[in-house]
Amino acid sequence: MRFPSPLPLHDLFLLLLFFLIVTEVRWVSSSRKYKIGEGRDWKIFSNCLFHSLLRGHDYQDALSKCILFFEGQRSGSLLVDQRMIWRGPSALGDGSAAGVDLTGGYYDAGDNIKFGFPMAFTTTLLAWSIIEFGDSMPPSTLREALDATRWGSDYLLKTVAHPDRIFEFLEGSEDSLASYKVWVDSFMCTLVPESSSPHEEYTPGGLIYKPRGCNMQPVAPFAFLQLVYVNYLSHSSQNVNCSGVIVGPSSLHQLAKRQVDYILGDNPMDMSYMVGYGSKYPQHIHHRGSSSASIKDHPQFIAWKEGTVYYNSSNPNPNVLVGAVVGGPGKDDFFKDDWADPGESEPTTYVNALWLVFLRILLQTVTPIRYRDYSLFPTFYFHLYERNKRKKGCLDFKENED
């Protein structure tokens, strides 16, 4: 059974856009400078780049798997055509203690918890990808993306008291938003290794690296903003001046593409960090549903301590969470593939949503990318960021958890 009708996506986009503020992308550049072209690091980087040029990637296959991942994160009663068949109905009593129905939605990551703001961010990105690229998606992919968006939005509408009055608009003139272009340009320069200005650290293999719990959390929004800004620069016929180094849309596009290709397998480990993509990918991801027995194979109730046998197992996870993008390797490009290290092995919905957009944009670049009415979207995003930079967002909400 499929959902009966498409979503009113333009309304959904306006409804959820303000939730973007909670991401608080940490775009202030690192003081460490990294230059490509020195010693062992350059050899590793150039070797990965060489393999990237030879190999190529099936972005459509990766996109389909990226969408499929969300079926493995569903909470509540599931549809009869659920493709991730090892996942069963769960958390059917959510909200009952307060006399309300709060079933449904997505578990944010691997620990069966639903967080409102990360889910809103995820649903926003899913909706935006369809608004921008829906008419060029294969029909089956579009239907799956609509289903994924509807699953999140249906839950979010349950969480508000007056769903017909939750629109909130941010006032701002074109001039005031355009003033943020200088800040966005400065941020883009932090991602250009050839720039002499302070910029982000890269691993020897070429992946953006931020010393924090889950490296994919900063990598994903950084690359996302790069690709969005590429559209803006192309639309407005502009370049970015990084301390005398002129960077055009094609250069920024290649930098962002490099991050995607690294995750899909062009890296020193020669493995994909998207589960189910390629011949080598993580086998021990930090995910309760993936790492413990499916109810279809083990219908008996598993008490808390009875799960120790799965906790201590060295076998690959019994349930493959296809499409999950994990946290990724450390600063030396090494990946332990150990589910006990959630920083490297845990997937999240909000990261996968960003990768869905990347892959859709990369698939679109064979023809000119249309850019609707979002010529100010990058500066608008940073306008929201600046006004709310003291708020914790979905990239930070787990920092104090055990």
Domain positions in the chain are: 17-387
Closest CA to 61 of 368, 311, 326, 362: 362
pLDDT of residue 55: 56
Q: Quote the tokens at residue 2.
A: 């499929």
pLDDT of residue 162: 63
- Distance of alpha carbon 206 from its chain centroid, rounded? 19
| Type of residue at 320 | V
What is the value of pTM for the model shown?
Answer: 0.77
* Percent of the chain with pLDDT strictly greater than 70: 72
Higher-confidence residue of 318 and 136: namely: 318
pLDDT of residue 175: 53
SS3 106: strand
Q: Is the pLDDT of residue 191 over 80?
A: yes
Write the pLDDT tens digit of every residue in 325-356: 999 999 999 999 998 999 999 999 999 999 99
pLDDT of residue 401: 36
- Spell out the residues 6+ positions from residue 164 whose beta carbon is closer than 8 angstroms to its own: none
Q: Output the CA torsion 32→33→36→41 (10° steps).
A: -30
SS3 108: coil
pLDDT of residue 313: 86
User: Of the given ranges (103-117, 134-148, 183-197, 257-271), which has the lowest mean pLDDT?
Assistant: 183-197
Output b/e per residue, 221-246; b: 16+ Cβ within 10 A.
bbbbbbbbbbbbbbbeeeebebeeee
Q: Is the pLDDT of residue 207 over 50?
A: yes
Asked if 265 contacts 55 with a C-beta cutoff of 8 angstroms, the reply is yes
Q: Output the CA torsion 96→100→105→110 (10° steps).
A: -30
Average pLDDT, the chain: 77
- 17-387 is a CATH 3.40.50.300 domain: no
199 HSE (CA, 13 A, CB side): 22
Closest CA to 27 of 169, 206, 180, 203: 180
pLDDT of residue 302: 81
pLDDT of residue 197: 77
Mean of the pLDDT values across residues 144-152?
95
**Torsions phi, psi for 343 (to 5 deg):** -60, -35
Q: How confident is the model at residue 67 (pLDDT cuts 50, 70, 90)?
A: very high
Q: Is the pLDDT of residue 13 over 50?
A: no
131: left (phi over 0), alpha (psi -120 to 50) or beta: alpha
Q: How confident is the model at residue 179 (pLDDT cuts 50, 70, 90)?
A: low
pLDDT of residue 212: 72
Of 57, 286, 287, 383, which one is the catalytic site residue? 286
Q: Which range has the top average pLDDT, 11-20, 23-32, 337-346, 372-381?
A: 337-346
Closest CA to 162 of 53, 354, 15, 36: 15
Mean of the pLDDT values across residues 125-143?
90
pLDDT of residue 160: 83
Q: Quote the tokens at residue 257.
A: 């593409």
Q: How confident is the model at residue 177 (pLDDT cuts 50, 70, 90)?
A: low
Q: Is the pLDDT of residue 31 over 50?
A: no
pLDDT of residue 374: 37
276 HSE (CA, 13 A, CB side): 19
Mean of the pLDDT values across residues 104-115?
94
- Distance of alpha carbon 216 from its chain centroid, rounded? 8
Asked if 35 contacts 192 with a C-beta cutoff of 8 angstroms, the reply is no
Q: How confident is the model at residue 59 (pLDDT cuts 50, 70, 90)?
A: very high
Asked if 267 contacts 274 with a C-beta cutoff of 8 angstroms, the reply is no
Mean of the pLDDT values across residues 62-73?
96
Asked if 199 is an active-site residue, the reply is: no
Write the pLDDT tens digit of every residue in 211-255: 777 889 888 888 888 888 888 888 888 999 998 889 999 999 999
Q: Is the pLDDT of residue 35 over 50?
A: no
User: If you search the block for the tokens 């029909």, which residue do you land on?
Assistant: 139
Q: Is the pLDDT of residue 281 over 80?
A: yes
pLDDT of residue 1: 44
- Spell out the residues 6+ positions from residue 130 whose beta carbon is closer than 8 angstroms to its own: 9, 137, 142, 145, 146, 149
Q: Which range has the top average pLDDT, 84-93, 128-137, 195-204, 389-398?
A: 84-93
Element (H, E) at 247: strand 245-247
pLDDT of residue 295: 83
pLDDT of residue 361: 86
Distance between CA 318 and CA 289 in Å, rounded?
A: 9
